[in-house]
Amino acid sequence: MSAARLLLASASPRRHELLATLGVPFDVVIADVTEHEDPQTDPVTMVMHNAALKADWVAERHPAAFVLGADTTVFIAGQVLNKPANATEARAMLQLLSGRTHTVFTGVALRRQADNLRIDEGVASEVTFKVLDEGIISTYLARVHTLDKAGGYAIQEHGDLIIAGQTGSISNIIGLPLEVTKQILTNAGLLADTCRTQT
């Protein structure tokens, strides 16, 4: 492992790509934890818990490093949609989302055990789906690997097939809200504060 001051506690390639755009060096350490994924749980509570769980696990093993954890889920009609277990579940999720608006919640946690640093933030965005017939669903499932994605879809992959619109942070919908993450890392001293130079 390099001497990077920041560790990302996530196996998600999308989070890797998003975090890299902020320009801060980081390494990846995947947390060996069992995430809470009860579909009846409050979605905000769930993503905040899981983000902290991952960050805390890595921070305990690397106490001098800053550790960033994140967790994302989809919420519609009182139901949490996590990652589908198989293609049948993915299809059922797309059928449920068809023609409706849902909320994407992400929890972000930054930890450093050496000085008991704990920062937690939550972000919500909304996504509206087109009305999807079975042909469109089959086409989408054939083009996109959906089993590692909450809600069984990825807005950045062939989103034109299924997405009618979105509000809020698109990076949140992908899996890591960059606006909030940038502010967290700035507050921790890992990024220069450029806010004062922007108008």
Whether 42 is a known active-site residue: answer no
Catalytic residue among 71, 133, 148, 193: 71
Within 13 Å, how many C-alpha atoms sit on residue 68's CB side? Answer: 33
Who contacts 120 (Cβ-Cβ below 8 Å, separation ≥6)? 48, 51, 52, 107, 108, 109, 110
Distance CA 126, CA 177 (A): 13
User: Any bridge partners for residue 53, and if so which?
Assistant: none
Interior CA angle at 68 toward 151 and 35, to 5°? 45
Q: Which two tokens stand for residue 143?
A: 């083009």
- The SS3 call for residue 124 is strand
| CA-to-CA separations, 125 to 3, 84, 91, 150, 174, in angstroms, rounded | 35, 20, 22, 14, 10
Q: Quickly tell me which residue has 């994924």 as its tokens.
A: 37
- In the block, which residue shows the tokens 């990825």? 154
Q: How far is residue 176's CA from residue 107's CA, in Å, rounded to a whole number?
A: 9
Residues annotated as catalytic are: 71
